[in-house]
Amino acid sequence: MLPARRFVVILYLLSSLAVMGQATEPPVIQLDYGHSNYIVGRNVLVLEDSANALRIDDVENTPEAFRPITQPTLNVGPRASTFWLKLRIVSKTQQEWFLHVRAPFLKQVDLFTVTWPSYDRKEVGIAEVGSALPYHDRPVLVNQTILPLHLVTQDTATIYLRVRSNSIIRIPLEISTLQHIYENSQENDIAHGFYFGLIAALIIYNLFVFISIRERTYLYYVFYIFFVALNISYIKGHFLQFIVPHFPQANHSNYTGSLAFIFALLFTNSFLNTGYYCPRLKKLGLLIIVSCVSIIVLSLSGHLLLGFKLNWVTVGLFLIYSNLTGYVVLRQGFKPARYYLMGFTILLVGIFIFMMKDMAMLPENWFTEGAYQIGSALEAIILSFALANKLNTYKREKEVTQAEALAQATLFSQQLIGSQESERKRVAAELHDSLGQSLGMVKNKVLMIKRDTGKPELHDKQLRDLEEMVTEAIQEVRNISYNLRPLHLELLGITQSLHSLLEDVIETGLIEVETDIQNFDNLLSKSNEMNVFRIVQECFNNILKHAQATAAQIRISTENAMITIRIADNGVGIAPAAMEKGGFGMIGIRERLNILNGRIEILGNNPSGTIITIQIPL
């Protein structure tokens, strides 16, 4: 029994050592002839250093701390920890091999290659690269993260990789020859060139449109797609390569992403005219502005990872805001909003797929990797079409408005000509019926005086009668002249002229008028004073002719650089159709107010009648 028990114990110890060996040492990746690329996959162990304090000596001396990974690619989402990866490689060829980390956005990637040229001598090769280091310090000057391995043929090397990130920890690894990397990057380079060329063409085109028509929506669109393109160039490694090669501190999506959201919000409010269609909803956009400013402030203060997480919240906020505003504006009849909804929905779906891939919730492939870029390109095209559609819509509306204005001007001209003819007819009738008759009577009286020169008893009486007739004729001439243009407007001023006008209204005996008129002489030009006089005159003419009122009130005040005229009566009121269109008198009032840059409001009075409020800026 004793030997059997010893055999069981020995077997247990051997199995335990085997398990421990599997946990502390990764399988050896053998690089053979005829192959140029190896996907590392699960052939790697990982150690998380949450304190960011471990050094190469520490991790070498604690192999039991490493754990195997359960994913084809290590992907843990946004983390502040440092991750150590361990793999073993043996090269059977003389080729030069490189470790390709297909994540150019990683902040720090340090490669430690441990070899044993002899049993008692250890060498550690160190190479550093990352998005937080100057571009020209890279061992291979490309946008990708590529590190030379410097392997010795037939010798097994232990590779340690230290990785940190200010955004996502996602570490796709492959071991390749440089030729293989360049040959397989051609398709990506063509896709990137097509995308950035498309964005550049749209920017140039819409910038020229903005210069031509000075519509700010086009400028917001240009800046928006520009910063989105910069954000994508950061993810692909081109931002550090071409834009900030000597200033890696600016190489982060927090800056470009926040600016992209700010201009996306400005574009949304300008394109959808949210201030008109949904002013209350527009205020929600302030949350996005606050969020973007907070991201920039956090990033500048060194909290890039926290700013990155807040960036994800901003994506959600903008998703809600853009869909709500687009839907509300579309419901109110603004048809270009459907293109806006389509464009931003495609982009946000692309961003969502890309984020799900970053959080290891979707597999990594060409579609999930390029979803953001594909969505951005489609959105830029659709929004450019939406801008053109909006321009055509406004052009058609302008043509309709011009046609309506021309028809209104034609109608006004016809009514003006008719009014002039009516005025001429009235003046002619007054001259013929009143002044003509008076002058005829004067002529007859003169003939009678000539005839009765021999009758002294009649001569004095006829002269007195003649004097009265001439006086009446002069008064009739004054009345006709006053109706054509009130002369005392220039002599006495607008305030006293309106008092005289209202006294004439009261003298008709048809209506009682209560007046409260502040002095506003010399506040307007003479021509504008005449327009004000005619407006008040037309209002009271309408009251006398149509309102059937027995009482009226007029109040004129000047405050806040504004002349306010309020006229109220207790008549039958004005029909809604007459408020909108009106006869020539109302059209004349509106035309005079256009000259004065004024406005009119017509409301019903309580219990009956009408209130007219006129405001004229000084």
Considering just the CA atoms, what is the radius of gyration of the chain in Å? 45
Sheet strand arrangement including 512-517? 512-517, 551-559, 562-569, 610-617, 599-604
Residues 6+ apart with CB under 8 A from 583: none
Check residue 488 and give its pLDDT: 65
- Going by C-beta distance under 8 Å and a sequence separation of 6 or more, which residues neighbour residue 382? 339, 342, 343, 346
Instruction: Write the single-letter amino acid at 238.
Output: H
- Find the farthest-apart pair of alpha carbons in the chain and give their distance in angstroms, rounded: 182
Rounded Cα–Cα distance for residues 259 and 293 (Å) = 9
φ/ψ (deg, to 5) at 34:
85, 0
- Type of residue at 492: L
Number of H helices, E strands in the chain: 20, 18
Query: d(Cα 419, Cα 77) in Å, to the nearest integer?
Result: 80
Predicted confidence at residue 262, as pLDDT, reads 95
Pair of tokens at residue 544: 């006398």
pLDDT of residue 211: 92
**Partners of 114 in the β-ladder:** 124, 158
**pLDDT tens-digit profile of 493-514?**
888 888 888 888 888 788 899 9
Q: Residue type at 115?
A: T
- CA–CA–CA angle 291, 296, 301 (5° rounding): 125
Please tell me whether the peptide bond between 456 and the residue prior to it is cis, using omega within 30 degrees of 0. Answer: no
Predicted confidence at residue 216, as pLDDT, reads 92
Q: Which tens digits make up the pLDDT trace of 449-487?
A: 777 666 666 667 777 777 777 777 777 776 666 666 666
Q: Which of 487, 553, 558, 492 is nearest to 520 (CA)?
A: 558
CA distance linking residue 254 with residue 227, whole number of Å: 11
The amino acid occupying position 6 is R
Which stretches in the chain have pLDDT values below 70?
A: 1-24, 118-121, 412-413, 415-423, 426-437, 445, 452-459, 478-488, 490, 576-584
Q: Which domains does the chain have, with CATH numbers?
A: 21-184 (2.60.40.2380), 191-404 (1.20.1070), 489-618 (3.30.565.10)
- Other CB atoms within a 10 A radius of the CB of residue 550 amount to 12
